[in-house]
């Protein structure tokens, strides 16, 4: 348990994002201690454990969750591994932090949610935007009815992470492994739409692939990409508001992430031009009808207490804070796997809409959980 009995022993599974964000985040948090690391290659597991001063390394997640000093597991592996790994952790009665997209489909996500409830453990999904200062101000202004009755929502999330055609083929290029821009970015967007504006009644999705082949790093051959790198979505919210969402991972856009909300009383915008870091750099603008659009300062109470060079760590630390509080008080938190189910449900229905080339209805989360 370490010196302090309040410390929560964490096992890390997933060592890409895990090494960049999860390990430093947990090591910096006053109440978490990374006690074990999993990698399918034991030598890599040992090397990571050694370089980060972590006690245990293993190529078996089953062995890791059996360690008494592991109270919680953090999973940031590619999406196709989430379901089985999360199940292993939950069945062992460990608390869970899971990266998005939650699973490969909403049925798997629902099963994990029910298992977490059954085991009485606290599970969360890393939906960081709920914890970013500019977004928190934006959410407060919306709840204070700054824009009045909603008329239109317009969201652009335009990145260049996969714009380079020489970037090799990997799991992101494979539909069956949960790859694609909808999975990596849409999963966040669906969560924050639900958080900020409520449920969705129906949606229409058009998914395309701008870069149809990439080089397989193993064979050196050109290999087909069957995942989306552009997504154009139209949502109709439960209250009737139209929402237009454009997502791309292959464009060089000056404004990377921009959310515009128009109502009968005013306009609110949260946006960032930061190409390098998708957490830092968000600013908020607003105007009431007839007044010029002006920047609204983010209050100090919302600002990150510490800034990390990698902004994702700053937001991740707040996710961990919330999770730790849930574990301390044994209370389900938001976001939990329940929010993960809803995001995943909207992704599943987007794929269905694209295949059918038509609108699809979205059941309420309650309805989906009942069936």
Asked whether the beta carbons of 93 and 302 are under 8 A apart, the reply is no
Q: How many helices (H) and strands (E) does the chain have?
A: 12, 17
Nearest to 28 by CA among 370, 366, 316: 316
Q: Which 3 state secondary structure label does DSSP give 268?
A: strand
Residues 273-328 pLDDT 10s: 998 899 999 999 999 999 999 999 999 999 999 889 899 999 999 999 999 999 99
Phi, psi of 18 (to 5 degrees): -55, -45
Nearest to 175 by CA among 226, 99, 209: 226
Question: Distance (Å, rounded) from C-alpha 201 to C-alpha 213?
Answer: 35
pTM: 0.97
Question: Distance (Å, rounded) from C-alpha 126 to C-alpha 102?
Answer: 9
pLDDT score for 90: 98
Beta bridge partners, 284, equal 270, 296
Collect the ranges in the chain with pLDDT lower than 50: 1-3
Residues 11-56 pLDDT 10s: 999 999 999 999 999 999 999 999 999 999 999 999 999 999 999 9
pLDDT score for 4: 52
Asked whether the beta carbons of 73 and 65 are under 8 A apart, the reply is yes
pLDDT score for 1: 38
Domains of the chain, first to last: 8-121 (3.40.50.720), 129-305+343-361 (3.30.360.10)
Asked whether the beta carbons of 17 and 76 are under 8 A apart, the reply is yes
């Amino acid at each position: 348990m370490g010196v302090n009995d309040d410390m929560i022993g964490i096992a890390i599974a997933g060592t890409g994002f895990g090494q960049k964000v999860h390990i430093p985040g947990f090591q910096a948090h006053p109440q978490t201690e990374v006690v074990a690391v999993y990698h399918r290659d034991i030598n890599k597991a040992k090397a990571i454990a050694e370089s980060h001063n972590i006690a245990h390394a293993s190529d078996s997640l089953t062995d890791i969750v059996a360690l008494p000093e592991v109270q919680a597991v953090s999973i940031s592996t590619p999406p196709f591994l989430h379901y089985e790994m999360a199940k292993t952790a939950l069945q062992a009665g460990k608390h869970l932090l899971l990266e998005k997209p939650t699973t490969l489909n909403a049925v798997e996500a629902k099963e994990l949610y029910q298992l977490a409830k059954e085991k009485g453990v606290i599970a969360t999904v890393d939906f960081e935007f709920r914890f970013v200062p500019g977004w928190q101000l934006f959410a407060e202004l919306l709840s204070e009815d700054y824009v009045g009755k909603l008329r239109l929502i317009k969201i652009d999330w335009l990145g260049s992470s996969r714009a380079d055609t020489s970037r090799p083929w990997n799991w992101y290029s494979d539909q069956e492994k949960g790859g694609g821009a909808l999975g990596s970015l849409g999963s966040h967007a669906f969560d924050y739409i639900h958080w900020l504006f409520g449920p969705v009644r129906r949606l229409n999705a058009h998914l395309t692939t701008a870069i149809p082949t990439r080089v397989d790093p193993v064979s050196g051959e050109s290999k087909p990409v069957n995942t989306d790198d552009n997504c154009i979505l139209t949502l109709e919210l439960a209250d009737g508001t139209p929402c237009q969402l454009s997502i791309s991972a292959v464009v060089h856009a000056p404004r990377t992430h921009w959310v515009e909300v128009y109502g009968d009383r005013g306009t609110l915008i949260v946006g960032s031009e930061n190409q390098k870091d998708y957490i830092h750099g968000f600013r908020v603008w607003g105007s009431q009808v007839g007044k010029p659009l002006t920047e609204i300062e983010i209050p100090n109470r919302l600002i990150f207490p510490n800034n990390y060079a990698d902004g994702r760590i700053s937001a991740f630390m707040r996710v961990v804070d919330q999770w730790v509080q849930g574990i301390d008080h044994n209370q389900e938190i938001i976001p939990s796997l329940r929010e993960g189910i809803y995001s995943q449900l909207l992704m599943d229905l987007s794929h269905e809409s694209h295949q059918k080339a038509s609108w699809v209805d979205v059941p309420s989360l309650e309805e989906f959980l009942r069936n």
